Amino acid sequence: MPYPRRLLNDGEEIALDIHPHWWFMSRPTGAFLVSGVLFLWLLATLDGAVWETGVKWIVGLVALGSLVWLVIRWLLWRTTHFVITSDRVIARKGVLAKSGIEIPLERVNNVSFKQSIFERLIDAGDLLIESGGEDGQQRFTDILKPDRVQNLIHVQMEENHRRSFPLASPSVEPGDLAEQLIKLEGLRDRGSISDEEFESAKRRLFE
């Protein structure tokens, strides 16, 4: 299930849309396999004694509960997205109730990742994004190939910065120039750039 394009802004493009790493499904899958195999083995080996019948049904209920857990976990996996666009980093999850967070690329200060030895073997890990927003720091877990995702965020940040601070050109139309000035002022007002950076970019526009 891809990330809904209706949630994108005008002109916004998706650079990456991934679900959590398959390790996200490991615990319910393991619980279902173990309890299911044990239940089948008990059915094949135990006779009809009262206490043995009770044991079989208890294990059967555990296997059924594990199956329900597996289905719920799969639905959550399908509806969990980590998205990088040309403007934002988006994390969204939820089957019925939805929750999410969006970090504009111009507010991202630092991106780092962390992998244990085992996570390096399965190519999974955590991604830590520090931003200038109210939350300051966000950790995203079970990310597939976190080092590549980190690089992609940096690439999109550079592209976003290039679009926000275009090189001056004599052929810039007055309407485009006004639009670029409004965008620069918005970045300055949000604290994404300093006054010095604003003035420098503005001078380049008028050169």
pLDDT digits (tens, 9 = 90+) for 59-91: 999 999 999 999 999 999 999 999 999 999 999
The residue with greater pLDDT, 196 or 87, is: 87
Enumerate the H helices of the chain as residue ranges.
Answer: 26-45, 50-78, 117-122, 146-164, 174-189, 195-206
pLDDT of residue 193: 66
Q: Could you tell me the pLDDT band of residue 201, with boundaries at 50, 70 and 90?
A: confident
pLDDT, tens only, 116-172: 999 999 999 999 998 876 667 889 999 999 999 999 999 998 888 877 766 544 444
Residue with the two structure tokens 């950076």: 197
- Report which of 27, 32, 30 is spatially closest to residue 66, judged by C-alpha positions: 32
Asked if 176 contacts 187 with a C-beta cutoff of 8 angstroms, the reply is no
pLDDT, tens only, 41-56: 888 887 766 567 788 8
Asked if 105 contacts 9 with a C-beta cutoff of 8 angstroms, the reply is no
Asked if residue 92 has pLDDT above 50, the reply is: yes
Signed CA dihedral, 199, 201, 205, 207: sign only: positive
- What's the predicted TM-score (pTM) here? 0.71
Across 14-25, average pLDDT:
93
The residue with greater pLDDT, 124 or 197, is: 124
